[in-house]
Amino acid sequence: MSVRRWSHGVSAFTLAAAILGLGIAAPASASAPTRHAVRYVWRNVAVGGGGFAPAIVFSPAERGLAYLRTDMGGAYRWSASRHEWIPLEDGIAQSSYFGIESIAADPVDPEVVYLAAGMYPNQPAAIFRSHDRGNTWQIFPTPFRMGGNMPGRGVGERLAIDPNDRSILYFGTRYDGLQRSLDGGRTWSRMDSFAWRGTGWRDSPRMQTGISFVVIDPQGGRPSGPSRRIYVGLTLPGAQHLFYSEDAGRTWNAVPGQPAPDLLPVQAGLDAHGTLYVTYSNGTGPNGITEGAVYRFDTQTGRWTNITPGADGLRVSGGYMGLAVDAGRPGTLLVASVDRWHPGDVLWRSTDGGRTWRNLRARSRRDVSATPFLLWGHAQADFGWWITGVAIDPFDPEHAAYSTGATVYATHDLLSRAPGRALLWKPWVRGVEQTAVLTLVSPPKGPHLLSGFGDLSGFVHERLRRSPTEQFTHPVFANTDTIDDAALSPNIVVRGGTRAPRSAPGAPTLAYSLDYGRSWRPLRPPAPASAIVVSADGRSFIAMSRLPEVTRDRGRTWRPAIGLPAGAHPLADRVLAQTFYALDFERAQLFVSSDGGATFHTRATRGLPADLEADQPHSPERQWPLIATPGRRGDLWLVSHQGLFHSANGGRTFARVSSRVRVSALGFGMAAPAHRYPTLYALGRVARMYAVWRSEDRGRTWRRINDARHVYGQRFRCIAGDPRVFGRVYVGTDGRGILYGEPAVH
C-alpha cells in the first residue's frame, strides 16, 4: 500500500499526490492564466468551537498533551505552552480526511499519534501517522471506508495501539470487520477470526456503525510481545454485542453473561484493576436514542453489574454514551447521558465503581464569557447536548472535559467537595473553529464583517480575533443562509434562514436590522421565505417567497412583485436606489425593476448564455450567481458553469471574461492602489486545484493567494473582500470556520 507524506510546509510530493488522487493540489503551472502568487497570512476569525467534536483524547505519555477529533473540521492538538488548540490538517487537500473517525495517542512516546480519517463511506479514507505530534503526517490510504461525519460518530475509540507492542494497531470498522496492522498503520488486514467480517460499504446499510470500540488490556502481555486480552464492541442486531480474545486475536468469543441484548455497546473503558465499564444505548446516535444503561464487568470473576445512574429523578427518556475512567483511581469514572432533551443531558461521577453517583449538572455553572454565543440569547448557557466525548486528564484528576454539539467544556476542580461550591466549567476551545459558514458580507461602514452560519445563526464581528458578543438573535435562526446590506445605507441589513430547533411553529425566518446587524426585528411576509434582499437605499425589502413579495414599510404591508416568474431571486443594484435585477434561468432572460421592486420587465440582452438552467441554485446555501458590483451602477457579474460573464450597462450586454480559472463564487474588495475598480476575489478551480484567487484587473488575470500550507481540505463555501482594507479577504469554509487572509508584510 502506498504511503504519502504531508507537512505544514510545502511538500515535495504535492504534484505526485495530486496525480495519484490524494487531492493535494499542485501550484498553478506556468501555463495557467495567473500571475505569480501573492504571499498571504491566514488566520481564523474567532468564534470558538461551534460544532460537534465527538471525542477528547488525552495523551497517556505526557502531561498537558491532548487531541480533539471533529466530525467535519479535522483534528486538533492542545498546546499547553500556547494555551490553544492547533489545527493539524490545514495543508490537507482531501476533503474527506476532515471527518475524523478515531484518534490514538501512543501510550509511551508522546511524539507519536494516529488518526483514522474518512468522512463518508463513498469517499477516500486513510490512517494518518505522525512522529512529531501531528506537525507532519504519513498518510496510508485504506481499502476500508469510514464515516467520520455519519451517524454513530460519537462511539469509540475504534482505533487502538497495543501498549505492549506499539507496532500493532487495531481498527474496528463500520463495514469491513476488525482490521489489524502489524507495521504501525502502514498496511492492514481483516481478522477473519472475529465474529463479524463485514460486507463492504457498498452492500451494507449506509447508517451502519459496525464496531464501536476496541479496548486492549495491557495486563497479561509482555514488552515487545502482543497483548493477549482484547475487547471489541459490536453494534449490529443480535444477542451478542461484546467479544473478547485471550490470545492476541487468534480466536474470539462472546463475553459470557453479557446484559441488555436489546441495547448496543457504544463506549467502554478499562481501569487499572481490570474492571471494564460499558455504556449502552438503543442506537448509536448522536440523535434518536431513547433508552440506555451502564454496566460494570469484573474481568476476573466474569460478573456483570448494572450501575446505571439516574436514580435522582432525572432518569427520563434518553441513553448513555460518554464515558471516562480515571487512570490513577480505579473505580472513579464519569458517565454522560445522551439525547435526554428534557430536562437535559447529565454528567455523573462515581468514585466507587458505580455503586453511587453524583450529578455534576446539578452542581455546575458555566462561564462562557470567552465564547458568548453559547448563551443563545438567554441568561445562562446550556449544559450541553450530544455529550459523547468525556475525558479525565491522566496526569491531573482535577482536570476533566466533555464535548457537546456546540463546544467542549473543561473544569480544573473536579475533586472539589466544598459545600455549596458550584463546579465551574469553561469552554475549552481556543483555536478550534469547527463550523459551516454559509454567507459573508463586509460592509463599507460599521463592523468589518457579518456572517451567516449553519446551526449558529450568525454574527457581527466587531473584532476579528475575539469571539463576537453580537450573535444574530431575536430571532435566532438555525441557519442564516442570506445576508444583504443596503449599499447606500449599510446600517440597514436583512437576513433569511431556517427556524432554530425547538422554536415555535411559524417562527420568523426573515429579519432586518437598522444598526449594522447588532439588533434585529422579525419580518413575516404572507408566504414562507428563507431569503431576502434590500434595495441600495434600504427602503425596499423583497422576500423570496414562491412569488416574491415587496415591502416598503418594514414589513407592515406586503405586495407581490409584479412581472416576476415563480421562484425568481431579485438582486439590488449597488448604486441605483430603485433598481433590481432578476434572472429567469429556464428561459435565460433578465428582468429589471426601476420602481423599487414593485414591477419587473424583461430586458433585451446580448451575450447572456443561452442555457442557464444548470446555474440555478437549488439550495439556499449556495451563492446566487448574479452579483452586483459595489460602487458601480449597472455593473453585474454572472458566475456560470459556462464561465464568468460581466456587464457594465445594467445587463444589456454581457461579455465572457477569458480565464482558465473556473470561478464558483465571487466577492469584491477595496480597489488596488492606482486602480478604481474593486478588487475581485474568487473561489475557483484550475485543473484539480480549488483555491482562493485575487484579480486587480476585472478578472483578466488572477493570482492564487492561498498556498500549500493553507488548503483546508478545499472545503471553501463563500467569499467576501473587505471594502476598507486592500488585500483583505474573508473565506467561509465547511468545517474550519471563517478564515481571513491579508498580504504578508515584508
What is the distance between the alpha carbons of residues 270 and 259, in angstroms, rounded to a whole number? 18
Cell of 198: 463485514
C-beta separation of 151 from 204 below 8 A: no
C-beta separation of 340 from 405 below 8 A: no
C-beta separation of 26 from 14 below 8 A: yes
Element (H, E) at 660: none
* Cross-strand bridge partners of residue 227: none
Tally of CB atoms within 10 A around 291: 16
Cell of 116: 483514522
Cell of 666: 465571487
User: Which ranges in 564-713 belong to alpha helices (H)?
Assistant: none
C-beta separation of 630 from 444 below 8 A: yes
3-class secondary-structure state, position 613: helix
Residue from 217, 345, 455, 734 carrying the catalytic annotation = 455
What is the distance between the alpha carbons of residues 470 and 484, in angstroms, rounded to a whole number? 17
C-beta separation of 127 from 83 below 8 A: no
Cell of 635: 455593473
Place of cell 453479557: 258
Residue 504: C-alpha distances to residues 111, 376, 406, 500, 523 (Å): 50, 16, 21, 9, 15
Cell of 297: 464487568
C-beta separation of 293 from 305 below 8 A: no
Tally of CB atoms within 10 A around 746: 4
Annotated catalytic residue 515: no
Annotated catalytic residue 71: yes
What is the distance between the alpha carbons of residues 578 and 98, in angstroms, rounded to a whole number? 45
What is the distance between the alpha carbons of residues 660 and 182, in angstroms, rounded to a whole number? 46
* Cross-strand bridge partners of residue 718: 732
CA atoms within 13 A on the CB side of 454: 21
Cell of 257: 453473561
Residue from 71, 106, 481, 734 carrying the catalytic annotation = 71
* Cross-strand bridge partners of residue 461: 449
Q: What positions carry a catalytic annotation? A: 71, 455
